[in-house]
Each structure stands twice: as structure tokens, then as C-alpha cells.
Amino acid sequence: MHLKLKLIKNLFKKYQIAKVLFKCEYNKTMNKRLIAIGDIHGEIDKLNSLLDKISPKKSDTLVFLGDYIDRGNSSKEVISTLIKFKKSTNCIFLMGNHEDMLLRTKETRKEEDISFWLFNGGITTLDSYGDYVNTFKTHGNFFENLKLYYSTDKFLFVHAGIRPDKPLDEQEKQDFLWIRDNFINHKHQLKQKVIFGHTIFDEPHIEEDKIGINTGCGIDEDGYLTAYICNENEFIRSD
């Protein structure tokens, strides 16, 4: 009888320990937030406002959807802030079409590519860095190492979208960075929900297979910067 009682007590103790360990692991998982941040476009105050509201933790992963530069007046400060921020938080930096335009000017040196970039907001970026050479001297490594997409089991993060009728491994760079209506107006065939920026909406664009979070930051005074906390299905906006 005493042996059975001792065995039951040992089993109960092991159960209690396993329960505590499971709870700890569960809490760790729940505390790991996956957060997407939309197009910043040189707006340092709105970036700082949003980061303050998010209050990122070391366990968080932040995925920035590109278009860090152009239009707003503080492109250099935005990139410097992001580089510094990455030292304390896990960050994924995607390429936007505006970074693509900038890199293309370096690649081709063609007057039409330079003019196209400047026309689309590049002038404010040059003013921020002082000149063209200093842009790449200061942050060339950042621009040249941006990713086209980031994928998890449940989410695919891209700047602009994807070709709806193609699998991920058949997508082209042009689509990741520039696509609009064909992606937004049609359901895609991937298992993940696509989180994207690029196309401007007055408020987050929510569909069954996609969520757009470019809410006009850097476009006009009414525009704001949006974050989406994926595993909590929560939106946060800058001031």
C-alpha cells in the first residue's frame, strides 16, 4: 500500500513538473510576436512613433516591407535607425520598388533610370544624404542586401505582391516589387496569407488571402505608418 502511494506521489510530482515546463514553453511561444511594418518613405518621426507603440522585445521578429526611402525628408535617418535597431531586435528587411529604382541607377548609370528615380521621390533622398555618392558610401551595404520576400508557415511577406497563378519559386523580382491590380483583385494559390505594402489604402486592406498595410506614410499629411502583429491579428498605427 505504501509503495503504491509513493508511486502515485512520484507520478503526480512528475506531472506537476511537466505542466510547469509546458506552460513556460507555451508562454515563450506566445511572447514571440511576428510583426510586419509598412512603407516608411523617409518619415523618421512616424517610424519612431510606431516603434514606441509596438515596444519591441528581443523575442519579436519585425519584418519591414520595403520603401524606406524617397518622398519624406529623412531617408538617411530612417536607414540609420533601422540598422541600429537591428542590433537589439530580430529584423528582416525587404526590398521595395523605391530601393530597386535606386539600385538600378547604380547598375545602369542611364539618364532615364536616374530621372525616373528622382521623379518618384529620389530628390529628397539625395538631399538627406547630401549627394549621390554619399548615399551608397553610407548605406550601400544595407540597400544591396535587402531580401525579396520572407516566408513562414502561415505568412508570406513581400513588398508589392505576387503573381496569383504562380507558385512561389516561379515568381519574378518585378512582381515582388511592382505588381498591383492583378495581385490585389485575384486570389492567389499559396497556402500562406500574403502581407504586403506598396499599394496605398486609407486603412489596412484585409482579405481572406492577403493584408495590405501601406497606409500612405510619406505621401501626404494624412498618411500614417502601420504595423500588423500577425499572431495577434492586431494593427497599430503611428501618430
What is the per-residue pLDDT across 46-88, written as a single tens digit (0 to 9) for each?
Answer: 999 999 999 999 999 999 999 999 999 999 999 999 999 999 9
- pLDDT of res. 70: 98
- pLDDT of res. 32: 95
**C-alpha 192: how far from chain center:** 16
- pLDDT of res. 24: 41
**Which of helix, strand or coil describes residue 226?**
strand
User: Cell numbers at residue 125, please?
Assistant: 533622398
- pLDDT of res. 26: 43
**Environment class of residue 36 by beta-carbon count within 10 Å: exposed (0-12), middle (13-18) or buried (19+)?**
buried
User: Cell numbers at residue 238, please?
Assistant: 503611428
Distance CA(73)–CA(174), nearest Å, equals 27
Residue numbers in the chain where pLDDT is lower than 50: 18-29
Q: Which residues fall within 8 angstroms of residue 180, CB to CB, at 6 or more apart?
A: 160, 161, 198, 199
Instruction: Count CB neighbours of 135 within 10 A.
Output: 23
Domains and their CATH numbers in the chain: 55-132 (no CATH), 148-239 (3.60.21.10)
